[in-house]
Amino acid sequence: QKEVEQDPGPLSVPEGAIVSLNCTYSNSAFQYFMWYRQYSRKGPELLMYTYSSGNKEDGRFTAQVDKSSKYISLFIRDSQPSDSATYLCAMSPTGANNLFFGTGTRLTVIP
């Protein structure tokens, strides 16, 4: 079983839609959760960073962590064509500087 599972998509939505991206994980030691966005021909860039369970909001983006279900989500409101990218979830246990990544979900927002 992979440490982190993420549906690779692809996912296509119309402009303005609400997008929901998800990851599940198996290691209960994971405490830190991140979302990265990767545009074509670029490296991933950090989008959201959360610790333990709960919600975090930044503009149109909301990250949710449910540790009891080992499930994390990223919501994008009012999606824009510029949001078209691959979104990778990543997580880490306390005391480690290694990140465990999902495979990434490719998102296309159609104008």
Partner 1 sequence: ETGVTQTPRHLVMGMTNKKSLKCEQHLGHNAMYWYKQSAKKPLELMFVYSLEERVENNSVPSRFSPECPNSSHLFLHLHTLQPEDSALYLCASSQDRGNRPSGYTFGSGTRLTVV
Binding residues (CB under 8 A) for partner 1: these are 2, 4, 6, 8, 32, 34, 36, 41-46, 49, 88, 92, 94-104
Question: Smallest gap, in angstroms, from Cβ of residue 80 to partner 1?
Answer: 22
Select 14 or 95, whichever has its Cβ closest to partner 1. Answer: 95
Long-range contacts of 60-69 (CB under 8 A, 24+ apart): 61/35, 63/33, 63/35, 65/33, 67/28, 69/24
Tell me: cis bond preceding 10? Omega within 30 of 0 counts: yes
Question: Smallest gap, in angstroms, from Cβ of residue 16 to partner 1?
Answer: 29
